[in-house]
């Protein structure tokens, strides 16, 4: 089944993201986490792509396990900056052989020290989308950035590039994490005005430790509202309290989104099934309403 068909259903869908192990030794631990998350009845589970192709084979392996063994829709990430065009084509062919119908097409981070762009790599995500369209009947997702992409100085340029990507064959979008829902609502208004009509899944990241917050800010450049910073200042030194506060904050974001008509929400689980389960418990009756 294609994710776009599920998203069109008139009901609430909560999905989760997991990431493959950095080494093969960590594979079983990740699979155990995935198995636990699958018990939460997610709309789908997405699997990120191992940088540099080293452990990226585990992306397809885990996505296949989710689909075939757990009976849950899976979404395989595919990035192109760290792989040659031929490597990308090989991955697409492998996903098709495994019966994986859903791909999230990303440029990805540029590996440190790599000359980029070069003729042997796709430079932009829209080029990857075009390539995927050539090789099978996939449902294609892509990323979007409510606060603007760090490489684009002007938000108008960001939306113009996003529309170019969508027009190449993107079926749905997933946002980078954000912590102020007003940013998301404003972003939706601007992209709809620009003619982008595909479903947009807000990406929610439960921040349950001060270290996680710092890392998230370094990676994404996201803005933390004063309300969240106050939570961090008050509870950041207590792991148990910060965990509870982070779950509550993410739950509050999701409840506000649902109350404002958003039906499809993607949670960055960080391979923590206990956090995912706590959020779903908080939403158990709300999802049914």
Reported as type and span, the H/E element at residue 139 is strand 139-144
Cα gap 87→95, rounded to integer Å: 12
Listed in order, strand segments (DSSP E) in 60-121 are 74-79, 102-106
Q: Bin 108: left if φ > 0, else alpha if -120 < ψ < 50, else beta.
A: left
Q: Hey, which residues does 17 pair with through a beta bridge?
A: 46, 268
- DSSP of 190-205: HHHHTT--S-EEPEE-
**Among 106, 55, 99, 49, residue whose Cα is nearest residue 73:** 99
Task: State how far the alpha carbon of 275 is from the alpha carbons of 16, 36, 115, 187, 205, in Å.
Answer: 11, 11, 39, 27, 11
Contact 216, 222 (CB under 8 A): yes
Other beta carbons less than 10 A from residue 163's beta carbon? 16
117 upstream amide cis, omega within 30 of 0: yes
**Which amino acids are annotated catalytic?**
17
Cα gap 259→156, rounded to integer Å: 28
Task: State how far the alpha carbon of 35 is from the alpha carbons of 69, 254, 271, in Å.
Answer: 9, 23, 10
Cα gap 124→155, rounded to integer Å: 17
């Amino acid at each position: 089944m294609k994710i776009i068909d599920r998203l069109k259903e008139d009901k609430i869908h909560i999905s989760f993201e997991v990431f493959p192990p950095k080494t093969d030794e960590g594979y079983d631990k990740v699979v155990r986490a995935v198995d636990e998350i699958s018990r939460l009845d997610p709309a789908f589970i997405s699997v990120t792509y191992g940088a540099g192709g080293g452990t990226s084979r585990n992306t397809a392996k885990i996505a296949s396990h989710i689909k075939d063994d757990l009976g849950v829709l899976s979404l395989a990430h595919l990035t192109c900056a760290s792989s040659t065009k031929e490597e990308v084509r090989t991955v697409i062919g492998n996903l098709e052989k495994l019966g994986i119908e859903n791909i999230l097409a990303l440029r990805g981070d540029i590996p440190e020290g790599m000359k980029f762009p070069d003729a042997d790599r796709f430079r932009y995500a829209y080029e990857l989308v075009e390539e995927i369209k050539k090789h099978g009947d996939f449902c294609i997702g892509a990323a979007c950035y409510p606060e603007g992409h760090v490489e684009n100085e002007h938000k108008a340029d960001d939306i113009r590039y996003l529309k170019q990507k969508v027009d190449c064959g993107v079926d749905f979008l997933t946002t980078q994490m954000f912590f102020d829902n007003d940013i998301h609502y404003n972003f939706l208004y601007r992209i709809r005005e620009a003619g982008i009509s595909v479903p947009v899944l807000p990406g929610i990241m439960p921040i349950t430790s001060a270290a996680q917050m710092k890392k998230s800010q370094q990676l994404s450049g996201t803005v933390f509202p004063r309300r969240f910073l106050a939570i961090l200042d008050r509870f950041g030194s207590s792991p148990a309290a910060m965990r509870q506060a982070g779950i509550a904050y993410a739950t509050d974001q999701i409840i506000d989104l649902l109350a404002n008509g958003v039906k499809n929400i993607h949670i960055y689980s960080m391979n923590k099934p206990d956090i995912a389960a706590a959020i779903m418990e908080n939403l158990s009756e709300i999802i049914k309403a």
